[in-house]
Amino acid sequence: MDPITDIFRTMHVTAVGLHRLEATAPWGIKQEQQTEENVTPADKKMTPTDLVHFAMLSRGNCWLSVEGIPDPIPLTGGDCFLLAKGTSIVLRDSPRTRPSLSFREMGVKADNHVIHHGGGGALTTIVCGAFSFDRASLKPVTKLLPSFILMKADQARTLALHMTMQALASEMADQAPGSEVVATRLAEILFIHVLRAHIASRPERNKGWLRAVFDPQMGTALSAIHGRVNTPWTVESLAEAAGMSRSAFAARFKELLGQTPLEYVTEWRMQKAMQLLEQRDKKLIDVARSVGYESDAAFSKAFKRVVGANPGEYLRRGFEDNGHA
């Protein structure tokens, strides 16, 4: 199994909050950085949840201002971007327009997933929403991905990405029976396609985990870990899988991923274990063996070291977080 597939299956990627924004000039909306002060009780109930926001222009033009990027970015029909939670942006018809609406308020104003906003001038249509990684996560998915990914319509991209974007725009425009389900699935597919296109278009700019996944040698080792998580991996056996010397492999792995190979193996085993435990249909020893431990005692000790609670405590905490006494 390739690492991207494994991570998305384990952390359960779901498109949420899909809306179609019909904006007429002048208009402006903002996404402010979420802090502890402006997190609502509803948001807190959703935790632990990791979000990636996205927007896709299906018609018209606008300007995008992103925190940390000095100049506004012109967007046109067919452009799409992903944005990690915590990054502030402004979308508007002109760099001079002051935003008068927040993405948070858009959901309140939506009528059948459609928001009308602006002064009645030139029309821009934007499909927007978020991707939720709603499994408890040791390392938030947004730490593995760039904080901002932009795919311009004129960039080289696959036919699959182009067709997915067209299909999503069509579903959000027609609102036919079943459109909400179809649009949600298309948005999830779009996420993978945008990520692929980003990786293919700027391989030299990839950093960290993404760069490691698509590095021929590191990628082979990561695929081995994710494909056979219950194997008793050692640095030597992973280096052999990568076709490298032990020392070169260990140094390269640490450089790209910021942790040792065995730290990564253990962390991902615990991530898989959390998923298995949440299913509540497996004995502890079966979960332990599924992630490479021969005894539930050894597994429980490792689980508590990494997660901060033993398996029983973890399950009880999750049960209480879901609103059960």
In angstroms, rounded to a whole number, what is the distance separating the alpha carbons of residues 274 and 219?
A: 24
Task: Return the higher-pLDDT residue of 277 and 10.
Answer: 277
In angstroms, rounded to a whole number, what is the distance separating the alpha carbons of residues 21 and 211?
A: 34
Given a cut of 50, whether residue 324 has pLDDT beyond it is no
For the stretch 112-128, pLDDT in tens is 889 999 999 999 999 99
Domains observed in the chain: 3-202 (2.60.120.10), 211-321 (1.10.10.60)
Given a cut of 60, whether residue 319 has pLDDT beyond it is no
pLDDT of res. 49? 61
In angstroms, rounded to a whole number, what is the distance separating the alpha carbons of residues 23 and 228?
A: 49
For the stretch 256-285, pLDDT in tens is 888 999 999 999 999 999 989 988 888 999
Task: Return the higher-pLDDT residue of 143 and 34.
Answer: 143
Handedness of CA 58, 63, 67, 70 (dihedral sign): positive
pTM across the whole model = 0.77
Compute the C-alpha angle 35/36/37, nearest 5°. Answer: 90
For the stretch 143-192, pLDDT in tens is 677 788 898 887 756 778 888 988 998 898 887 888 889 999 999 898 88
